[in-house]
Amino acid sequence: MSNKPIIWNYGGGKQTAAIAVLIRQGVLPRPERIVMADTGRECKTTFEYLENYMRPLLHEVGCEVEVIPHSFSKQDLYYINKNKEESQLPVIPTWTRQNGEVGKMRTFCSGFWKRDVVRDWLLLPEQGYGRKNPVIQWIGFSLDEISRCKDSDVQWREHHYPLIWGYNVRMTRQECVDLVLNYGLPEPPKSRCWMCGEQNNEEWRDVQSRPDEWQKAVELDYEIRSRDESNAVYLHFSGVPLIEADLSDKPKRELSLFQYDQMTCSEGCWT
């Protein structure tokens, strides 16, 4: 194994908690830095779990989680080009309805809000990483998400997937949960943004259980439609306004649409 410094992209969910336990158990090496790019819209359950369980656990082995604020991102909800023009559509996962069919729009948020933020932060002179000090970057995908893995786009940053290869660990999402529970910690939340269009109905109901996040999601759902010429962009996969969406387990379509291995994001959301 290379002796480059390990930078762990802290995702905040189930795989993340398993990696923390594995570090505590000495199965995985201690990373040099643990960094979390805050999207500014993360479900509050992610931060509660971080503060209540992950920080104390990692502190025992001398590790701290550094949270990079969303203000560090060069892009927010709507893409701004070089001419300072703002895009009509948001960069987050959304759905559109055309001729009665619902399809998913292209998504850019995790790249802008996570990949680019961590890259730019590591390149700050005071952090000291880059071409002269290349790094291994851990991303916490589990074995069932292997299709989300991809090579780094820069030479100084090598992607490693510690739950899949390189450390004699091969774990599925469920095995991560089992490990964390067996260690004596509560089940970690699914880390994600409260308005993420990748959410299934169980996850939307979870957001609904936190009225402030639900209200913001409903308002954003209206906002993205009001900016769109076709007035046909939605946060919910059924292609209807979020406030009207059937959030029961009845809709069958989500079962085929929301397999995690179909997620295109490769920057560590939902880990």
User: What is the contact surface with ligand SF4 in residues (CB under 6 A)?
Assistant: 39, 92-93, 107, 109-110, 113, 192-193, 196, 198, 265, 269
Nearest approach, Cβ of residue 258 and ligand SF4 (Å): 12
Q: Between residues 110 and 201, which has the closer beta carbon with respect to ligand SF4?
A: 110
Nearest approach, Cβ of residue 99 and ligand SF4 (Å): 26
Nearest approach, Cβ of residue 109 and ligand SF4 (Å): 3
H-assigned helices in the chain: 14-24, 44-49, 55-59, 109-110, 116-122, 173-183, 201-208, 211-227, 253-257
Residue type, position 101, single letter? E
Nearest approach, Cβ of residue 112 and ligand SF4 (Å): 8
Q: Between residues 115 and 157, which has the closer beta carbon with respect to ligand SF4?
A: 115
Nearest approach, Cβ of residue 234 and ligand SF4 (Å): 14
CB atoms within 10 A of CB 26: 9
Q: Between residues 22 and 265, which has the closer beta carbon with respect to ligand SF4?
A: 265
Distances (CA, A) of 75 to 24, 40, 80, 82, 235: 35, 12, 7, 12, 19
Q: Between residues 45 and 110, which has the closer beta carbon with respect to ligand SF4?
A: 110
Q: Are strands 95-98 and 86-90 parallel, antiparallel or unpaired?
A: unpaired
Q: Between residues 31 and 93, which has the closer beta carbon with respect to ligand SF4?
A: 93
Tokens of 184: 């004596």
Tokens of 49: 């779990």
